[in-house]
Amino acid sequence: MFPEVPYQLQMAPGCCHVLRCRPHHPKARENPLMADKERNVLIPLPAGGLENIGSGPKSILSGMVSDALALARMREKSLAEKRFRIGDYEFRDPDYRQILIWAKALEIEPEVFIRSFEDDSFSQDGNVLRLDVEDGSIVLLQWDFDIFPISSFEWVDGLRIQQLGFKGIASAELSLRLPLLNCLDCHDIGLTKLDLSNLPELTYLECGDNQLVELDLLNVPGLTDIYCSNNQLVKLDLSNVPKLTQLLCENNQLTQLDLSNVLGLTLLWCSSNSLIELNLSNVQKLTDLWCSTNQLTELDLSDVSGLKELHCNENQLVELDLSNVPELTELNCDNNQLTELDLSNVSKLKHLRCQKNQLAKLDLSNVPGLTGLDCSNNQIVKLDLANVQRLIGIFCGKNQLAELDLSNVPGLTTLWCRSNPLAELDIRWLVKLKRFACDPSVTLQKLPTQNF
């Protein structure tokens, strides 16, 4: 989603959420309409008068050069100010010629092309077209290949497109040459290659859900957001994107991830890769980390003291030191090999998932704000809920609990405690309970209104 853009023409109102800004592009082919001959056909140039050129050979030559430059400037200014009408709208020279190219490729009239962006029917069934124009310049374009199926893009020089999004299934490669583009979304359009070399101002890139095997970031040093999840990337070099703050690279084939040059990174989602280590020492501003489903045997959090969310489930961690992450509010460490979990320094914790580990005890006395707990599939023999009175959901099945005192959690709405050696259970305290499961052998003490 991007900031509002001033425009003269904005089709498909209310579709600003469609273009989320993300990535792709090979090198553009030479545009035949760029030739001077055809340029003159499209754009009448103003006549210019010669100034006094002085006297003498040097003065004459100097005057000729000066006059030629002046004439060129006049022509350039005239072209910049000139507007060309298509239907009810006026466009600058580059934008006008670009529309002619698109219309020709689609074998339709330019007026029909423009009217397509005004047709509300294209906002139905997930098909969305959008064209925002500011002072004759296209500044935002949402293109749907299911509506406008063209095999390749040709771009004229001088376009001022800043935000560009694609939908539908494109060819395996797309060619972009847009020097002012800052936001690009080309996710899930069937790309196998993505060339970013002609997008020097790009800051937001989304190219997820394609078949990319590489992503070259050398020529996009201003990138702050990269979303490249669900591809086939085996490496990702971040050394040339020092301004990066958010990176989503989940579900690729990464075996390593060097974060040494992205000091401002705040969000990292790198789950479902093949990482065996993750060095966080240089990303001290990190607040959100998802590194689940990798092959991590250790995770050092000592340099990320501002971390608020940590999802490190489905790894091979044998210990997890939380002493340096006091801001943590959400923790998922399911499916590891943890034998203990010290929560004494994470007093702001609200959600905890630690199921399928080897925990024999779990001290909740220092997490009074906890609202959700899943500690199933461990070896816990006692669960003291006296200091977690805000709990609304507990999953504690498949442990070694012989008793469970629920008197301090009256707000509980969900309780699953199957496969424990419980003989009896008093749920009369739980007047808000809606979802409940325990073994049939357990003797229940309950209210008449509790139909469990």
Nearby residues of 254 by Cβ (< 8 Å), 6 or more positions away: 233, 234, 235, 236, 270, 273, 274, 275
Q: Indicate the pLDDT class of residue 442, thresholds 50, 70 and 90.
A: very high
Tell me what pLDDT residue 68 has.
Answer: 60
Q: Indicate the pLDDT class of residue 174, thresholds 50, 70 and 90.
A: confident
Burial of 412 (0-12, 13-18, 19+ CB in 10 A): buried
- Secondary structure (H, E, C), 195-238: CCCCCCCCCEEECCCCCCCCCCCCCCCCCCEEECCCCCCCCCCC
73-108 pLDDT tens trace? 656 565 567 999 999 899 999 999 999 999 999 999
For residue 48, pLDDT over 50 is answered with no
283-337 pLDDT tens trace? 999 999 999 999 999 999 999 999 999 999 999 999 999 999 999 999 999 999 9
**Residues 208, 210, 212, 216, Cα dihedral to 10°:** -40
14-46 pLDDT tens trace? 333 334 433 333 333 333 223 333 322 222 223
Tell me what pLDDT residue 26 has.
Answer: 32
Domains of the chain, CATH where assigned? 1-42+57-204 (no CATH), 213-334 (3.80.10.10), 359-452 (3.80.10.10)
Q: How many residues does the chain have?
A: 452
3 state SS of 81: helix
Q: What is the pTM of this model?
A: 0.81
State how far the Cα of 161 lies from the Cα of 311, in Å rounded to an integer.
38
State how far the Cα of 69 lies from the Cα of 222, in Å rounded to an integer.
35
Tell me what pLDDT residue 14 has.
Answer: 32
Tokens for 422? 């419980």
Buried b (16+ CB within 10 A) or exposed e, 363-398: ebeebeebebbbbbbbebeebebeebeebebbbbbb
Tokens for 218? 């050398």
The count of C-alpha atoms lying within 13 angstroms of the C-alpha of 17, restricted to the half-sphere facing its C-beta, is: 3
Higher pLDDT pick, 41 / 348: 348
- Residue 372, strand partner residues: 351, 393
Tell me what pLDDT residue 13 has.
Answer: 30
